[in-house]
Amino acid sequence: MRCKLCWRDAVEGEDYCTYHLEAYRRILEAYEDWRRAMDIGWEEFLREVSENPATGEWAREVALRLLGEFRSLSPSGSPFPPSPRRRRGTS
């Protein structure tokens, strides 16, 4: 089975590949530290982490998925929502 976030094979019995699984574990560990440091809930924590420029890209992908905001899961997919403001160059 493929990882839910990239083209790699998922670890058996898990949604993620080794790397995204590692990122997921790190997010869980970090949440404990964040809670000790400040008054913060799970959703707000995920939003903070996903918007923080220091967050690694795999950790961000996992955070966004956990937030239910990650639109495309393929490696070449764009994480940006479509913005059909103009249609030009149509052949």
Residue in this structure with the two tokens 């103009």, named with its chain if needed: 86
Token output for 16: 């993620």
Beta strands in 35-84 (DSSP E): none
Exactly one of 3, 59, 64, 65 binds other proteins (CB under 8 A); that residue is 59
Distance between CA atoms of 29 and 48, rounded to whole angstroms? 15
30 binds other proteins (CB under 8 A): yes
Is there a contact between 8 and 17 (Cβ–Cβ < 8 Å)? yes
13 binds other proteins (CB under 8 A): no
Exactly one of 10, 19, 64, 70 binds other proteins (CB under 8 A); that residue is 19
Provide the binding-site residues for other proteins, judged by CB under 8 A.
Answer: 7, 19, 22-23, 26-27, 29-30, 33-34, 36-39, 49, 52, 54-59, 75-78, 80-91
